[in-house]
Structure 1
Amino acid sequence: MVARMDQLWIDLAAVLAAAAPLVIAAMGETISERAGVINLSLDGTMLLAAMTGFAVALTTNNLLLGFAAAALVGAVVAAVLGLFSLTLGQSQTAVGFVLALLCTDLSSFLGAPFVRLPGPTVPFSPIPGLADLPVLGTVFFQHDPVIYASFLIVPLTAYVLYYTRLGLIVRALGERPATAYARGVDVTRWRYAMLIIGGALVGIAGAAFSLDLKQGWSYRHTFGSGWIVLAIVIFGGWRPLRVALGCYLFAALEIFATRSQSALPDIPTQIVQVAPFVLMIFVLALVNLASSPAAMRWVATLPQLWQRPLLGAINRLRATAPAALGQPFERP
């Protein structure tokens, strides 16, 4: 029994570690989308940033320079998206999708010399004193700086969005940009800023894969993680805490799939790899169902005994996008 509990805490720590890059990227995308801009380039950006971060860290033998280079890649890609969508008025969705494909191909072409080379990695850094605590030490305090940063970025993002003037401006950009403009906010400039900050975080998340979680570089290294991040932001209702829970849920599904593969060796490896993505899509379908008027009408036909718990579950699952998300803004 004791051995099973110890394994449970180790698995929980593994989930927190596996989710770290997703959490960082998801916070960046949450910031961008709360400001009204959809960045569909995430998957390609993370790949290009992962390659760049690893290449720079390997060449300079400096991890900080690797993460800085990856952040710069994310910021530049986001700025290009802003140029075409915010300045030139092109579709955010179309431009983001093209950038995702372009960055994916660039990562493969430019990263060819670095495939499967050994390189520097983020060092394991247990926190003295706290790491020795029973249970909590194993789960939370025996990690590395990237994972600790993923713990801090969630409450920080939530605090900034909901308890600061900056957060009020960001939420206004995504909900009522015309009202923000009437109060003296330069909507385009602020959207650029939030998009670039979000892009930099996505770039850091890419480097977190190649320099920490999946050490090294190879073709398609992040395995569709950018698309999962986009889905998780929707699942989380554009709220940082719920978005983070979605990241941990997906990481738990990945850990569970890995454990199941050893217990069920007859199942093909491809099915095990794809299973977390399928389950996440199923969860997203439930969220969309909960947001539909048809679901509310169906609940209204049920006996009162069932209505209250179902309505409570629907309210928790319901996700409402920022009203001006993806919409161009033209000055009055």
Structure 2
Amino acid sequence: MNDSQLIAVLASIVLQASPLTIAVCGEILTERAGVVNLSLDGTMLMAAMTGFVVGLKTDNVWLGFLAAAAVGAIFAAIVAVGSIRLRQSQVAIGFVLALLGDDLSAFLGQNYTRMRGVTAPHGGIPLLKDIPILGPLFFDQDIVVYFAMALVVVTWWWLNRTQPGLRLRGSGERPAAAFARGVDVNRVRYLYTILGGALVGLAGAAYSLNVKIGWSDGHVRGFGWIALAIVIFGGWSPIRGAFGALLFGATKALATVLQRVFPEVSVVAFNSIPWLLMILVLLAVGSDYTERFIKAMPKRWQQPLRRVLRVSPPMALGTPFESS
């Protein structure tokens, strides 16, 4: 593999990781507010189908993205109302919606499989795209990649450098204390659950309109669960979440390369590599053995390793809040 081929593979990894990054940022906003939305897989399937069909019918890719965001917002609103207003289990509602979105997308999209539709525009950023190595990787891409990179920065800044971000984190960490300081906790949770769902919807459309162009049954099945795993792996941080998405994209690319090198091996074996990696990563960040491993390291390495490998969710994640 020469240099140009290697750069092309790396650019493909960045492209494939971008929709996951968008979904991860959306779920981080939701969970940092204290709500667990497990409907991501069904949401992304419904959004991918809806975005593709709307784009196809209107010949407008932006309307496709808008429709997909609306689907994501609706699914998330159901989770929010069911858990906040009706006091039902967030996990149960999200899981049922995940199954519903899977079946509903297959039924409603059955007449649009294997069709050509509109695609997201591609365009390099002047000057930046000419930077050696980094230019082709990050600045000669599609609009989805640029949006994902900007979203990571904006999400991190919003969470850590703004007053609304502080209220958001307070609603997910110590809702009673936030309420005592004048924060309408449930209103914040409604807002960020729906916003996060809209971003997940955009991620679904980013696949059918940009990465895996078109629609077929199960087009992005499993990617929602991967996004949820990356949120945990990333410690509810958008920057670490973006690295997790890139890691998943790299394993997908590795599976493709290995399939070409070893054609006699079943493709199922190579396609399972990303899933096995996610399982190992989740075990690494949540196991007591990880702490034993850290303590066995030299003292100067222990604190950096602990920051990387040990993660903890928002303290009030999944816990309903009652103001009275």
TM over 0.5: yes
1:90-149 deviation per Cα after TM superposition (whole angstroms, max 9, x unaligned): 010011000100111110111111111111111221223332332222111111111111
Indicate whether 1:125 and 2:117 are aligned: no
**TM-score, length-scaled by structure 1:** 0.94
Please list, as runs of the form range in 1=range in 2, the aligned pairs for 1:1-332 lying within 5 A after superposition.
4-289=2-287, 292=288, 295-296=290-291, 300=295, 302=296, 306-332=298-324
Structure 1 range deviating more: 225-234 or 114-123? 114-123
CA displacement at 1:21 relative to structure 2:
0.3
Provide the C-alpha distance between the structure 1 equivalents of 2:160 and 2:298, rounded to a whole number of angstroms: 34
Q: List alignment gaps of at least 5 residues for structure 1.
A: none
Change (3 A) 1:295 1:55: closer
CA displacement at 1:297 relative to structure 2:
5.5
SS at match of 2:140: coil
Q: List alignment gaps of at least 5 residues for structure 2.
A: none
SS at match of 2:197: helix
Provide the C-alpha distance between the structure 2 equivalents of 1:315 and 1:63, rounded to a whole number of angstroms: 41
Q: Which amino acid aligns with 2:269?
A: I
Q: Which amino acid aligns with 2:314?
A: P
Change (3 A) 1:296 1:259: closer
Structure 1 range deviating more: 64-73 or 136-145? 136-145
Provide the C-alpha distance between the structure 1 equivalents of 2:303 and 2:163, rounded to a whole number of angstroms: 33
CA displacement at 1:175 relative to structure 2:
0.2
Asked whether the equivalents of residues 138 and 145 of structure 2 are also in contact (C-alpha less than 8 Å), the reply is: no
Q: Which amino acid aligns with 2:298?
A: W
SS at match of 2:263: coil
1:183-224 deviation per Cα after TM superposition (whole angstroms, max 9, x unaligned): 111111110000000000000000000000000000000030
Asked whether the equivalents of residues 294 and 306 of structure 2 are also in contact (C-alpha less than 8 Å), the reply is: no
Q: CA RMSD in A?
A: 1.5
Provide the C-alpha distance between the structure 1 equivalents of 2:261 and 2:41, rounded to a whole number of angstroms: 31
Change (3 A) 1:138 1:78: same
The percent of aligned pairs where both chains have the same amino acid is: 50
Q: Which amino acid aligns with 1:313?
A: L
CA displacement at 1:315 relative to structure 2:
2.9
Q: Which amino acid aligns with 1:94?
A: A
Structure 1 range deviating more: 178-187 or 123-132? 123-132
**TM-score, length-scaled by structure 2:** 0.96
Provide the C-alpha distance between the structure 2 equivalents of 1:252 and 1:28, rounded to a whole number of angstroms: 22
Change (3 A) 1:142 1:295: closer
SS at match of 1:59: helix
Provide the C-alpha distance between the structure 1 equivalents of 2:283 and 2:112, rounded to a whole number of angstroms: 39
Change (3 A) 1:254 1:151: same
Paired residues in the alignment total 324
CA displacement at 1:311 relative to structure 2:
4.8
CA displacement at 1:298 relative to structure 2:
6.7
